[in-house]
Amino acid sequence: MGVCALFLLVLPATAQSQSDADLSAQLTRHLSTMKKDKQVLTFLQNHQWLFSDPRFSASAKHQKRIHTLSLARTQKRAAAAKAALAHRQKVRRLAAYQAATPSTVICRVFGADCQDALAVSRCESGLRTDAQNGQYLGLFQMGSNERRIYGHGSTATAQATAAHRYFTDSGSNWGPWSCKPWS
């Protein structure tokens, strides 16, 4: 049973990676096709006499039509593949961003003051975004007035960012909080 569960957990990630690899391969093929189409069209542009010579006129017109249509179609497909890859990267970044623990987010937002901010948040809320004590909410237990001024949200990022604004406006000091990093 453990092997089955492992297989089910690994399969979606592998399928996703395979799909990204397929999109990358498609994009590479599209770019290569576009390059060839542009080379043929440039050649024909530089050799206009082919269109007026009866021996080559029909072939030159045919090649121009084929490669013009191919270039337009392939540009659309390449744009779609680029957009799909960009969307998947955005979704992965967003998922990673949302999956970050409150501790990780606090450290990302507070930078050099990370350890002090963690100590304050741990004391104020137990590092819980849904912590509430009367009017005080979130990781840093900010009151309604502070939330109105500095912002607030349901995510650790929104709460840590608001607390960091408050912290900075307070002279980068923990005076406004009941919990201090040294207590």
Q: For residue range 74-86, list pLDDT tens digits in order.
A: 999 999 999 999 9
Tell whether the model's pLDDT for residue 53 goes beyond 70: yes
User: What residues make up the domain containing 111?
Assistant: 102-169
Q: What percentage of the chain carries pLDDT values higher than 70?
A: 88
Does residue 37 belong to any structural domain of this protein? yes
Does residue 55 belong to any structural domain of this protein? yes
Mean pLDDT calculated for residue range 15-28: 80
Rounded mean pLDDT of the chain?
A: 89
Does residue 13 belong to any structural domain of this protein? no
**Residues 114, 59 share a domain:** no
Using alpha carbons only, what angle is made at residue 154 by residues 148 and 155, rounded to the nearest 5 degrees? 115
**Residues 127, 75 share a domain:** no
Tell whether the model's pLDDT for residue 46 goes beyond 90: yes
Q: How many domains does the chain have?
A: 2
* Phi and psi at residue 176, to the nearest 5°: -65, -15
Which residue reads 């569960």 in tokens? 5
Mean pLDDT calculated for residue range 46-62: 96
**Residues 150, 79 share a domain:** no
Domain boundary among 45, 72, 99: 99
Which residues touch 89 (CB under 8 Å, ≥6 apart)? none
More confident residue, 66 or 96: 66
**Residues 142, 165 share a domain:** yes
Helix (H, G, I), strand (E, B) or coil at 155: coil
Tell whether the model's pLDDT for residue 34 goes beyond 70: yes
**Residues 90, 108 share a domain:** no
Q: What percentage of the chain carries pLDDT values higher than 90?
A: 78
Tally Cβ neighbours within 10 Å of residue 31.
15
**Residues 77, 106 share a domain:** no
Q: How confident is the model at residue 4 (pLDDT cuts 50, 70, 90)?
A: very low
Task: Tell if the pTM clears 0.75, that is, is over it.
Answer: no
**Residues 114, 56 share a domain:** no
Does residue 179 belong to any structural domain of this protein? no
**Residues 155, 128 share a domain:** yes
**Residues 129, 67 share a domain:** no
CATH code, 133? 1.10.530
Q: How confident is the model at residue 183 (pLDDT cuts 50, 70, 90)?
A: low
**Residues 55, 24 share a domain:** yes
**Residues 23, 70 share a domain:** yes
Mean pLDDT calculated for residue range 53-76: 97
Residue 4, Cα to own-chain centre: how many angstroms? Answer: 31
- Cβ proximity of 174 and 116 under 8 Å: yes
What is the structure's pLDDT at 104? 92
More confident residue, 7 or 60: 60
